[in-house]
Copies of this chain bind each other. A is one copy, B any other.
């Protein structure tokens, strides 16, 4: 599994871009709205193929809104790219990993994704995403 992206919860994408792009120098690939999840996502490119996703909430009850309300801005999740997501979910479940998504759903960029529950992974929200078609 390789790291596909790191998600960061932010209050305002526009303000965060001033830091992560204008100062730290990451390239903005695009901004997408994912209404089904109530988030707006800015995708930044990092040198070794890893992306950073800046996540802004579009609604007051999205998971990003709840995170911001509880913890403030900060690291939200890691996404690993996998091949054969359905089989991997079954394997992880059989080994005792608690799943948020028992079967894949459509991710921000149209690909198949699933989240593992942080209670099984040392407090880390882990996303797995099927390799391929991860384009903005």
Contact = CB atoms under 8 A, between A and B. Distances in A.
Stoichiometry, as copies per complex, reads: 2
Interface string A118-136: 1011111010000000000
Interface residue tally on A, bucketed by range: 35 or more
Given A23-B95, A118-B74, A3 B50 contact: yes
B8 A6 contact: no
Given A19-B121, A19-B122, A50-B50, A6 B78 contact: yes
A72 B123 contact: yes
Interface of A: 1-3, 6, 8-10, 16, 19-20, 23-26, 46-50, 54, 71-78, 80, 92, 95-97, 118, 120-124, 126
